[in-house]
Structure 1
Amino acid sequence: MRKFKSLLLVLLLFSGVSCKKYLNVIPDDTGTLEYAFRNRNEAENYLFTCYTTLQQLYDPTTNAGFTTSAEIIYPNNLTQHPIQEEGFDLIRGTQTSANVGLNYWDGENGGESLWRSIRRCNTMLDNINQPVDLSAAEKQRWIAEVKFLKAYYHYYLLRLYGPIPIVKTNLDITASTDQVRVARAPVDSVFSYIVQLLDEAAPNLPPVITNKAQELGRITSVIALSVKAEVLATQASPLFNGNPDYAGVKNKDGTSLFSSTYDATKWQKAADAAKVAIDACAANGLKLYTFNAPGTLGTLPDSLVKVLTIQNAVTEKWDQNAELIWALNGPFPDQGYATPRLTQKSAINIFSNPSTFAVPLNTAELFYTDKGVPLNEDNTFDYAGRYGLRIGDNASQFYVAKGYTTINEHFNREPRFYANIAFDGGIWFGNGKTTINDMYHVEARGNSALAGPKDLNTLNITGYWPKKLANYLSVYDDGFAPIDYHLPVMRLAGLYLLYAEALNEVNGPTPEAIGYIDQVRARAGLGGVVSSWATYSKNPTKPSTKDGLRAIIHQERRIELCFEAQSGWDLRRWKEMQGVLSTPQQGWNIYQADPGNYYTPRTVVIPVFGLQNYLWPIKDNDLIIDNNLVQNPYW
């Protein structure tokens, strides 16, 4: 058997080539499908072709959950464009029905046509019985994998476009024009079909990958069950559950595409599915990750261990991360964009260490204080004076460089802040320095060599970096030596918070819901929700109401899963994206060397986001070609 990873890398070379073209390497006198399924090995190649689009999603710059969350701002006036920027530009209001960004309907502007991917899956299911040397057990597993992929491609389109056509089978080549012109299905019908496919797939998938050397990246039953929980939570969320903004949206034949009535039972289904997934994770050894320092690091202070636990829950090798439910084949490609210039040599190497993933101020302020409550709620924190200058001292030496002038807001924050955010004066453990007596710290102010020259090609435009996206062992200096990792699609902490969210929507605050939140908080070094709010919050009873606990859970998910391509999807399904993007995105006055002038907020982006932006438009030309399609609301 060819190694799965190696084959996928080959297939990625053909990512811009249709399935038909890829298979045209066969002799002219042989039927394409006959050749593709003539034996087990060729059929396996076609199975991996079905995976190809999924694996292309490993690049976060093509994932709307990453680029439209406003957790990272990417400058749009660079003279060099080494990565795809279409997704980052969407919050600037560039989306139109004539020019669709991240167009997964047609496969344009950073997207890949998921309809083509679904067609491949249907072709596989139609021809799976042809290889006579394929064992019954493998056939059963492959069918389950393809059903999962088909479900996930429908789900990805649904999150972008809402109600979509359901493609259960491929149309025959002799299909009439009327048959080709498909209409959109009601959104609840699409959700039901996705869940049906996941239910059919899960029993015939292995619970875990045992042959890790060859099969990591393939789908397991634990993945299928966890995705089902997320799908049902998405269906139950405000964007799709009785959303009044979509009440009048209909097909041309009068079929309503959205239910105008809220259905509370959808949350119960989501809660039930999440509990089944959690139990399956536990039965197969998954648990919240904790960092075990290798002997080469010596004894580390507890504060650094907490930071490395949080970082490595994302950047640990996928075969050693007990928390990882699902990651895609293909390493995270942008560590150099998330890493500050920490050495003189890296400051001139704009290709390996561009350093341009910029975190806006409101994302940095999303993280709690060390008391486990929001900055503006903490009754021990001087919120009004948060931008006042303060010098790093012994008490904070593993978070802020001793003797370095920064601001109050960078002190007494929760460990997740220091694991996620690199800031002026902040400690960077790693990049080749892994002893506590000799650590890098970030110098971001002014036109220093470490900050780079006054050129947006070489400068972070806010003064904050997404530290969690860089493995602490990766080194950027005169060259680069990244330690590859696979960005999680789902991990256990996210599933715990999803279950807590669903439980709260069903029954309000309960010990079980709060208990799952507290497990995630405890791993991050924080006290429990109830005790933290009762002791330190200006709103001590907040966790005792459904609305209050909902706000807490939403903030917990945004903190815990920050920069992991989750918040962009969450904020949409909660209908909270409009609120997040209603204010200018700000950073520091980066060209100023004096701290008093540097720490002055300045606007870097004024987002453009209205009701229409919760769903992608279908391209105008597609509506002309298929006159049974209707456009999404407000476009």
Structure 2
Amino acid sequence: MKNHKNIIAAIALIVAIAGCKKYEQTPVDKVDITHIFDPRDSAGVNAQKYLYGVYSVLRNGHNRVGGDYLDAAGDDAISSASGPSNIATILSTASYNSYTIPSDENLFGTYYAGIRQANEFINNIEVVPVLAKYNGYSMKYVWKSEARFLRAMFYFELIKRYGGVPLMGNHVYTISDDISLPRNSFDDCVKYIVSECDAIKDSLLVYPISDPNADSHRPTKGSAMALKARVLLYAASPLFNGGNIDAANNLTGYTNFDATRWAAAAAAAKDVIDLGTYSLLPNFKEVFLTQNNPEILFMRQGGNNTNVETSNGPVGFTAATGKGQTSPTQELVNAFPMANGLPIGDAASGYDSNNPYNNRDPRLTYSIMYNGAQWLNTQIQTFEGGQSKPNGSLQQTKTGYYMRKFMGNFENTNAYSSHSTDWLIMRYADLVLGYAEALNESEGPTTEVYNALISIRKRAGIEAGAGNLYGLTAGMTKEQMRTVIQNERRVELAFEESRYWDIRRWKLAETTMNQQRTGVSIAKVGSTLNYNPINVLTTKFDAPKMYLYPIPYDEVQKNPNMKQNPGW
């Protein structure tokens, strides 16, 4: 881990504050931590600004991986960009090692810097005499719980990438300290994150927040409970629970299988559901555009802009063109069922290969732009030589599809306009699906499992059908229901950095990623469209080592107690 002097963040803050002054009230070379955590600051102004710096460590997922979505490194999309330095392609073709893994996804040092900042806040906020209160707590204790929540979130981001990592507690190391720390076990890390979530949940804000315009970015009691549920879901999953890539290694997962871990994950998710304060927004598309809606469990603010459209929108429009950065795969398109909820491979589904996008799950239209879809007062043309598939050297779709999700309602406008681009780190639909998954694994396909899936499909706009099962089959086995849940997560959470991690925790990546990614080439002959499958990228996954990232090479070199992950 990197050493960071205590005053780095303080200097940055004071410089920012001093920038608003006409003169330097406190020479920068005299700044120390007491200027941030000031015993005379009854409003805690500087301390709160420091906490904002801890929030800034959170990642915004929109095109964050070298200009791509993380899903372009999985099986749901590929990058439209070309060249050997493309990060998403490097990740999806196993073209990295412990010292070349791209920095946009090698976040070991980033999250430890965040943990250090959080510890600085936790250790020093006590001296600030904050007068404001919330639910009987001094606001400084609410802030302290927020810092602990962020720290727990950073640890979760670490363990899902690396397995067990060193736990710092509240300690802030100085340059003279011995930092040759060993990694804690995966079990230790899970217990620590869960205990932190339990300890802080009652001293956080409660949803609905009284002033969402100011505080919607802050974690709530529900956020802490949802993080606990997510951590326990990952811990119960095959990669860590019985499928450890190094069976006797407690750093890379549990050394035994325990079915009660699934039950614990289900119970934690049910606790959030039972709060009764969160719900599915009736319109799927508006989840990502409507701020402060009851489906948001925790998010990172993104501002109002058109960045998603200009980066990922289709090419070929004069007033509102995009770069088409994200090319969804045919595999993802095929995962969306029909409007009756049946898979397209079901003979009773009504799927027509000559009109492949007709009568599909409405989430297909909300998530992906395909040939004939409405956009900017016209119909998208992704047939060869069409308006949005002109070929030549212009960057454009490589698969015949463009990403639609997260974009504004521009089907019937001529230009883009600013809208919310907040990144939803946790949302209620994800939690409901996690509940269904964990309950199915612990108890089988109970009525509650069915009801959870039905609630997601009903909101999506799938038809109720026979028995009001929304396309589900009655009497499924646990294994059949598992397959349905995994596919439901894929279509509901597309491009939300879910699938990339799901195929790892389910230990499916060695199958899904060791094959060709495909798209469609559409030939227009007169008024007839011919759909031809094409291979667009050969992806690769080296199992078992790639189920976890390598500990960065420099961390292992400078710390003799830092064990590397297997295979790296």
- Normalization by structure 1: what TM-score? 0.78
1:549-599, CA deviations, whole angstroms, 9 ceiling, x for partnerless residues?
111111111111112222212222111222221221111236877787862
1:261-287, CA deviations, whole angstroms, 9 ceiling, x for partnerless residues?
11111111111110111122x2x3x32
| 1:464 and 2:401 are equivalent in the alignment | yes
Return the match for 1:328 from 300, 307, 312: 300
Q: Which residue of 2 aligns with 1:131?
A: 128
Return the match for 1:118 from 115, 118, 121: 115
Measure how far apart 1:87 and its partner are: 3.7
1:425-436, aligned counterparts within 5 Å? 425-428=372-375, 431=376, 433=377
Partner Cα distance (2:504, 2:164) in 1: 15
Return the match for 1:338 from 306, 312, 324: 312
* Compared CA separation, residues 18 and 56, structure 1 to 2 (3 A): farther
Return the match for 2:459 from 494, 517, 523: 523
* Compared CA separation, residues 211 and 345, structure 1 to 2 (3 A): closer
Whichever residue aligns with residue 364 of structure 2, its letter is F
Whichever residue aligns with residue 524 of structure 1, its letter is A
* Compared CA separation, residues 594 and 634, structure 1 to 2 (3 A): farther
Measure how far apart 1:19 and its partner are: 2.7
Whichever residue aligns with residue 495 of structure 1, its letter is L
| 1:446 and 2:384 are equivalent in the alignment | yes
1:509-532, CA deviations, whole angstroms, 9 ceiling, x for partnerless residues?
111111111111112233569958
- Answer yes or no: is the 8 Å Cα contact 2:120–2:172 preserved in 1: no
| 1:630 and 2:536 are equivalent in the alignment | no
Return the match for 1:22 from 4, 12, 20: 12
Q: Which residue of 2 aligns with 1:618?
A: 551
1:148-167, aligned counterparts within 5 Å? 148-167=149-168
Partner Cα distance (1:571, 1:489) in 2: 18
- Answer yes or no: is the 8 Å Cα contact 2:368–2:402 preserved in 1: yes
* Compared CA separation, residues 558 and 196, structure 1 to 2 (3 A): same
Partner Cα distance (1:90, 1:243) in 2: 22
* 1:512 match: secondary structure: helix
Partner Cα distance (1:490, 1:184) in 2: 27
Q: Which has more helix, going by share of residues?
A: 1
| 1:288 and 2:260 are equivalent in the alignment | no
Q: Which residue of 2 aligns with 1:74?
A: 79
Whichever residue aligns with residue 44 of structure 1, its letter is Q
- Answer yes or no: is the 8 Å Cα contact 1:454–1:591 preserved in 2: no
| 1:37 and 2:11 are equivalent in the alignment | no
Partner Cα distance (1:326, 1:550) in 2: 27
- Answer yes or no: is the 8 Å Cα contact 1:461–1:590 preserved in 2: no
Q: Which residue of 1 aligns with 2:232?
A: 232
* Compared CA separation, residues 234 and 139, structure 1 to 2 (3 A): same
Partner Cα distance (1:257, 1:450) in 2: 45
Partner Cα distance (2:325, 2:62) in 1: 19
Partner Cα distance (1:106, 1:555) in 2: 28
- Answer yes or no: is the 8 Å Cα contact 1:75–1:461 preserved in 2: yes
Partner Cα distance (1:487, 1:549) in 2: 30
1:106-505, aligned counterparts within 5 Å? 113-135=110-132, 137-173=138-174, 175-176=176-177, 179-208=178-207, 209-249=209-249, 258-280=253-275, 282=276, 284=277, 286-290=278-282, 309-314=283-288, 316-319=289-292, 321-331=293-303, 333-341=307-315, 343-346=317-320, 349=321, 353-381=322-350, 387=353, 407-428=354-375, 431=376, 433=377, 440-457=378-395, 459-473=396-410, 480-505=416-441
Measure how far apart 1:57 and its partner are: 5.2
Q: CA RMSD in A?
A: 3.0
* Compared CA separation, residues 77 and 172, structure 1 to 2 (3 A): closer
Measure how far apart 1:377 and its partner are: 2.7
Whichever residue aligns with residue 356 of structure 1, its letter is Q
Which residues of structure 1 form unaligned runs of 5+? 1-16, 251-255, 291-308, 388-406, 434-439
Whichever residue aligns with residue 224 of structure 2, its letter is A
- Answer yes or no: is the 8 Å Cα contact 2:10–2:36 preserved in 1: no
Partner Cα distance (1:545, 1:234) in 2: 22
* Compared CA separation, residues 357 and 55, structure 1 to 2 (3 A): closer
* 1:182 match: secondary structure: coil
Partner Cα distance (2:290, 2:214) in 1: 15
Measure how far apart 1:448 and its partner are: 3.7
* Compared CA separation, residues 175 and 317, structure 1 to 2 (3 A): same
* 2:436 match: secondary structure: helix
* Compared CA separation, residues 192 and 58, structure 1 to 2 (3 A): farther
Which residues of structure 2 form unaligned runs of 5+? 1-6, 16-25
Q: Which residue of 2 aligns with 1:297?
A: none
* Compared CA separation, residues 529 and 78, structure 1 to 2 (3 A): farther
Partner Cα distance (2:260, 2:69) in 1: 28
* 1:469 match: secondary structure: coil
Whichever residue aligns with residue 438 of structure 2, its letter is A
Whichever residue aligns with residue 363 of structure 2, its letter is R
Measure how far apart 1:187 and its partner are: 0.3
* Compared CA separation, residues 155 and 530, structure 1 to 2 (3 A): farther
- Answer yes or no: is the 8 Å Cα contact 1:358–1:463 preserved in 2: yes
Return the match for 2:492 from 540, 547, 560: 560
Partner Cα distance (1:488, 1:378) in 2: 37
Measure how far apart 1:103 and its partner are: 5.6
1:442-464, CA deviations, whole angstroms, 9 ceiling, x for partnerless residues?
1112234443451242x211111
Whichever residue aligns with residue 206 of structure 2, its letter is P
- Answer yes or no: is the 8 Å Cα contact 2:521–2:534 preserved in 1: yes
* Compared CA separation, residues 592 and 149, structure 1 to 2 (3 A): same
Q: Which residue of 2 aligns with 1:6?
A: none
* 1:369 match: secondary structure: coil
1:176-214, CA deviations, whole angstroms, 9 ceiling, x for partnerless residues?
4xx311111110110110111111111101112221222
- Say how many residue pairs are matched: 539
Partner Cα distance (2:411, 2:147) in 1: 35
* Compared CA separation, residues 453 and 230, structure 1 to 2 (3 A): same
* 2:369 match: secondary structure: strand
- Answer yes or no: is the 8 Å Cα contact 1:474–1:481 preserved in 2: no
* 1:276 match: secondary structure: helix
587-596 vs 557-566, which moves further: 587-596
Whichever residue aligns with residue 266 of structure 1, its letter is R
Percent identity over the alignment is 25
Q: Which residue of 2 aligns with 1:101?
A: 102
Partner Cα distance (1:411, 1:528) in 2: 18
153-162 vs 490-499, which moves further: 490-499
- Answer yes or no: is the 8 Å Cα contact 1:68–1:87 preserved in 2: yes
Partner Cα distance (2:116, 2:271) in 1: 31
Measure how far apart 1:228 and its partner are: 1.1
Partner Cα distance (1:569, 1:18) in 2: 33
